Amino acid sequence: MLYIGLDIHSKWMTIAILNALTGVMSTINRVPNDPEVLREIFGGFRGKLHGVMEAGTNAWAMYRILQPYFSELVVADPAKLWRRSSDRVAKTDKRDAERMALMLSRGEIEPLYIPDERTQDLRQLVRAKIRSSRLVTKLVNEIGGLLRSWGYVGSRSLISKSGRRELEKAELPARSQRVLELWNELLEKAEEIERELDAVIKEEAQSEPVCQLLETMPGVGPFTSLLIRAEIGDISRFKHSSELASYVGLTPRVLQSGNRCYYGRLGNWGNRWLKYAFGLLAQRIGRSVQDNPLKRTYWRVAIRRHTNAAKIAVARKAVRIVHQMMTHGEQWTEAKASARTKSAA
């Protein structure tokens, strides 16, 4: 049995091979990420191959190329593999690959979830929509800052029709006027991209049964439902809603010693895209005039504490309800949501 650590980069990788019987470690440096070269190398190994690689920008693509050669190939979170602040040895690709092979042989690797191609494709779609929206906001701020620097203070949003009319009337010095025109061209193109992505997301959400299920919840539309479906993937990997809440990043820090236990603020861990989705949902619930269990939870917490705490509370309740809906294939009903909300409070 061979344990193989793969330190993969965009163009090449370093391979460390640990023989479980002899305990001998060998390495192959700077192997090109070419399917033909990899077939020649891994096809020549005998026996069962167990491999580990780090998550990265090209991890899923390389996983699908390498997976046929392995009895088991896992992808690990780099944050859980290395402790760079405490490491006192030189960092090299060879040492990283050898360390991964050794950790795999000891059973110290916690594997990550591997999304299928469909899930990965949907993730790219919804993440592009978020980035395009942020780009539009950034360009609007750039244009607004430029106009204010020359004394123009508009009362309308620059992405509204009336705001565009005010923008066309602005007269700036030659160079600033040209900069304004370029920013405006970029804004129009970014808005065009955002509209196209919106249309595709609506189309994809209509073809996904999970999205149709989630859209029965208050405040959930095609974008939010597709974002939740893409980022969660297989709901069966979360046995309890608390595990999903931790994955989203909605669980507080816990400091426990003896009989004392302190729950702190939310950390910066978790899936930032899912955290964005549930935060957006909580914000919509807070602004909605429709009465439902989530809305009542929002106001109960907001009156006692603060609107930010209320949004976090609503997001946590929404995570529990989404987990229940996706696990059992149940549509939203106010009676069931109220029962789950009370039991979770």
Identify the CATH number of the domain in which residue 29 sits: 3.30.420.140
Residue 50 near residue 4 (C-beta atoms within 8 A): yes
My answer on whether 220 and 197 are in the same domain is no
Looking up tokens 């030189």 gives: 90
Task: Tell me the per-residue pLDDT of 201-213, one tens digit each, with 9 for 90 and over.
Answer: 999 999 999 999 9
Q: Are 7 and 97 in contact (CB under 8 A)?
A: yes
Confidence at residue 345, expressed as pLDDT on a 0 to 100 scale: 40
Instruction: Supply the pLDDT for residue 343.
Output: 44
Share of the chain above pLDDT 90, in %: 70
Asked if residue 95 and residue 11 are part of one domain, the reply reads yes
Examine the domain organization and report whether 162 and 215 are in the same domain.
no
Contact in structure between 227 and 119 (CB atoms under 8 Å): no
Looking at residue 114, what is its pLDDT?
93
Looking at the structure, tell me whether residues 222 and 203 fall in a common domain. no
Residue 304 lies in a domain: yes
Sign of CA dihedral 330, 333, 339, 340: positive
Question: Is 152 domain-assigned?
Answer: yes
263 forms beta bridges with 254
pLDDT tens for each residue of 26-43: 999 999 999 999 999 998
Domain contains 110:
no
Inside any domain, residue 111: no
Q: 150 with 260, same domain?
A: no
Does residue 112 belong to any structural domain of this protein? no
Residue 85 pLDDT: 63
User: What is the Cα–Cα distance from 319 to 274, expressed in whole angstroms?
Assistant: 10
**Residue 277 one-letter amino acid:** A
Last residue of one domain, picked from the residues 207, 234, 255: 207
For 290-308, the pLDDT digits (tens) are 899 999 999 999 999 889 9
Asked whether the CA dihedral 73, 76, 82, 83 is positive or negative, the reply is: negative
Domain final residue pick, 190, 207, 224: 207
Structural domains of the chain, count: 3
Q: How confident is the model at residue 164 (pLDDT cuts 50, 70, 90)?
A: confident
- Whether residues 339 and 277 share a domain: the answer is yes
The residue segments making up the domain with residue 340 are 211-344
> Which of 72, 105, 138 is the endpoint of a domain?
105
Q: Return the closest-CA partner of residue 280 out of 249, 247, 314, 304.
A: 314
Q: Do 139 and 88 reside in the same domain of the chain?
A: no
